[in-house]
Amino acid sequence: MNFQNILVTNEQHIATITINRPSKLNALNKATIDELHTAFMEANKDVNVKVIVLTGSGEKAFVAGADISEFADFDAKEGAKLAKRGQELIFDFIENLSTPVIATINGFALGGGLELAMACHFRIASDNAKMGLPEVSLGVIPGYGGTQRLAQLIGKGKAMELIMTAGMISADEAKNSGLVNHVTTLEDLVPTAYKIAGKIMRNSPHAIAAAIKAVNANFKDGVNGYEVEIEEFGNCFGTDDFIEGTSAFLEKRKANF
């Protein structure tokens, strides 16, 4: 499929999705969100794709925020619809994908950009990256899951401070707070993601999908994460991956998933 705002490549079982609006610092607009939804949906359905890497084009920004010009004149009802649609189409959608998604934060990840990175399963940042949720400086709050995921990742107190001050933190500060897993040079950013993806791909795709579902369950209201873990653990026993994994272990060879 031909996209206008993103680039998609597939190589060695890794789909790389690049937000490609460098003149707008890769800001998210409606069209980009729609294209991202399609790209992630297609990558998740592709049996040859084992890991998805998300990044932004250029060296300045992963995603510098949402395209404010699209909603500056919205009323309360339209604003709520905007947030609901975005969460359903891409932010919640990514979080619950069965294919692992790694965000590689190359520069600014602000507002909707940081929310997009936080929706991914984990994050790697370049040492020039800056992250923050500046929405309160515009008279609004994060609407794409930022108030929830930031607190989950770095704790309530730190999240409250970052949101209320509308400030930015460095890549090192983000790593120390648990917001990102690794910090690299800009040149090593995507190669590091691919290296980690290689480690992920040695393991059972079915088990990884089950683990994502079980971990996510702990953060859903009204869901008992332990019960989901028990169910998913049991389901694994009925898969070809389980047969191959246990057979390989007993036969002292590498599993071929």
Q: What is the pLDDT of residue 221?
A: 87
**Residues known to be catalytic:** 115, 135
Q: What is the pLDDT of residue 161?
A: 97
Q: What is the pLDDT of residue 133?
A: 98
Enumerate residue ranges in the chain where pLDDT < 50. none
Residue 128: exposure state from Cβ atoms within 10 A (0-12, 13-18, ≥19):
middle
pLDDT tens digits for range 87-138:
999 999 999 999 999 999 999 999 999 999 999 999 999 999 999 999 999 9
pLDDT tens digits for range 99-108:
999 999 999 9
Secondary structure of the chain in the HEC alphabet?
A: CCCCCEEEEEECCEEEEEECCHHHCCCECHHHHHHHHHHHHHHHHCCCCCEEEEEECCCCEEECCECHHHCCCCCHHHHHHHHHHHHHHHHHHHHCCCCCEEEEECCEEECHHHHHHHHCCEEEEECCCEEECCHHHHCCCCCCCHHHHHHHHHCHHHHHHHHHHCCEEEHHHHHHHCCCCEEECCCCHHHHHHHHHHHHCCCCHHHHHHHHHHHHHCCCCCCCHHHHHHHHHHHHCCCHHHHHHHHHHHCCCCCCC
